[in-house]
Amino acid sequence: MGRFVRDYMENPMSRAWTLLHSVALLASTALMACSASPEMMDEEDVSSGSEAILNGSPAGEKFAAVGAIVLDLPEFGYYDVLCTVTLVADKAVVSARHCMPSVQNALDLGGGAYVAFGPDVNQGMGAQMIPISGYITAPPSPTGAGLLMDGGRDISVVYLESKPRNVKPVKIGRWENRMLGEKFQMAGYGWRDVNGSVGKRFYGVGTARAIKGDWYPLLFKNKKDKFLDWYYTDAVTIPTPEEAEFWWSSFALEKDYELLAGALPGEAVGCFGDSGGPLLQGSNANNLTTYGVEFAGESTFSTICGLGNAYTVFNRTMEKFVEDAIKKPCKGGHGRR
């Protein structure tokens, strides 16, 4: 459980550290998941650093509503800060859909799955640890679109057994495409350094860059020579021209649902463990508003994380899914994920 390469999507073009946030590596029977209704770059553009939100700073109390999914399996000696969440109701958080199979797997193995709140959610650091009581995942795209090539719409609503103390939920804001070009705050508990240390809450600022288009041409500003320089120096296996062409042309944002953000010069970018984290605007805890959920990012060996992050945004459809899920909480039962 935990870290991911694109092999998860059964893609034969094997590379390392790509679309780095998906974690559903183990099969799950989803015994506690509710079922969602089907109706329902240039080199200078790569950020680098040594903090959880790379080019970020420690997050203060303004970001108290940002928490983490923690898996604890004492019998196996396993403790993992898996993904990031955002409190949007007294006992509900939003996160990434792809985090849920690992949550379910931990429960099926007799371990614990929690949402933790606090500046540091590592063991022994005094975070609030609230058990997860259920979750519901967003229905996939009817056309099968999406950057992960699995139907997309990578959002889940996760229910808590109790209300966290002294934590104010953030508002859910509807994404409008006119917001492209605006600055947003991102927050999460992901990697802080090359050794993979996670568990401290950081935040940073990034620009909303694109809401449609092919992933790699967007990242490299349609400069294929820059893409090929990266591709041929960052591969796990010996790449071929055919594979390079496949990567250049085969992955795309789902129009109006998936957003490329962050990692322009001087900006922040999320890393491993920041998946599920929010796309925020607001000056304080009283007006903080989230407009989406981070679900993927592109990285390199040299920068760890640094080419850009993808968010599923709360457009009209996704906003309705979240609001309906909050109004009618999951009570357990079988689900598709």
Give the amino acid at 73.
L
Name the 3-class secondary structure at 253: strand
pLDDT for the residue 329: 76
Tokens of 10: 């059964």
Tell me the CATH number at 83: 2.40.10.10
pLDDT at 63: 96
Note whether residue 32 is domain-resident. Answer: no
In angstroms, rounded to a whole number, what is the distance separating the alpha carbons of residues 337 and 335? 6
Residue 199 lies in a domain: yes
> Is the distance from CB of 45 to CB of 186 less than 8 angstroms?
no
Per-residue pLDDT at 73: 92
Task: Establish if 8 belongs to a structural domain.
Answer: no
Q: What is the pLDDT of residues 80-100, one digit of tens each?
A: 999 999 999 999 999 999 999
pLDDT < 50 positions in the chain? 1-51, 332-337
The 10 Å Cβ neighbour count of residue 74 is 10
Read off the pTM.
0.84
**Number of domains the chain is built from:** 1
The CA-based dihedral angle spanning residues 180, 186, 191, 193, taken in that order and rounded to the nearest 10 degrees: 80
Model pLDDT for residues 169-215, shown as the tens digit of each residue? 999 999 999 999 999 999 999 876 555 568 999 999 999 999 999 99
Asked whether residue 36 is assigned to any structural domain, the reply reads no
Q: Nearest-CA neighbor of 86 among 169, 204, 190, 186?
A: 169
Whether 227 is covered by a domain: the verdict is no
Single-letter code of the amino acid located at 161: E
In a domain, 76, yes or no: yes
Beta strands 33-34 and 128-137 are parallel
Range of 52's domain? 18-25+45-212+254-327
Residue 11 lies in a domain: no
Residue 34 included in any domain = no
